[in-house]
Amino acid sequence: MSRKAIYAGSFDPITNGHIDIVNRALHLFDEIKIAIIHNANKIALFSIDERILLVSTVFKDNPKISVEGFDGLLVDYAYQKNIYTLIRGLRAVSDFDYEFQMALMNRRLQPKIDTIFLMTDQQYAYLSSSLVKQIARHKADISALVPDVVQDALTGKIG
């Protein structure tokens, strides 16, 4: 049986920190579904289709990874897909409270679901999509933080 997991988030846009988590998860799972949240409360810079396209482009050579947008509760989506493992990335301790709350709530909503936390590489511990967007707005160098395709897309959006 193939081991599958879902890695969900806004990915607005995908960064090298997200990619690091996916690469770590590939050691543990045969298939990873990257699920991009459609209707998060946050106002996104990139549309859902743009975010799906960016993530798909980054992983285009890896058949173990699929990319989809989703709406609604993550646990419902996971259940529909028959996937009961969620992956989340942890950066600093500050991520922990929120992640702990989410993991326990998701388990309460759907007891079969478990969340696996993977620790990011130190060099990405301070990296977030929102910081990347801020830095890009000020035209500073983001080449070490995101793949080229994302850098180009940010330049296209922000100028």
Nearest C-alpha neighbor of 53 from the set 122, 142, 153: 153
Is 129 annotated in the active site? yes
Site residues (CB under 6 A) for ligand ADP, limited to 10-29: 10-11, 15, 17-18, 20-21
The SS3 assignment for 37 reads: strand
Here's the x/- map for ligand ADP, 102-121, by CB under 6 A: it reads as ------------------x-
Stretch that binds ligand ADP, among 48-56, 60-68, 83-91, 131-139 (CB under 6 A): 83-91
The SS3 assignment for 5 reads: strand
Q: How many residues bind ligand ADP (CB under 6 A)?
A: 17
CA gap 45, 117 in Å, rounded: 26
User: Radius of gyration of the chain from Cα atoms?
Assistant: 15
Is 56 annotated in the active site? no
Active site residues: 18, 42, 91, 129
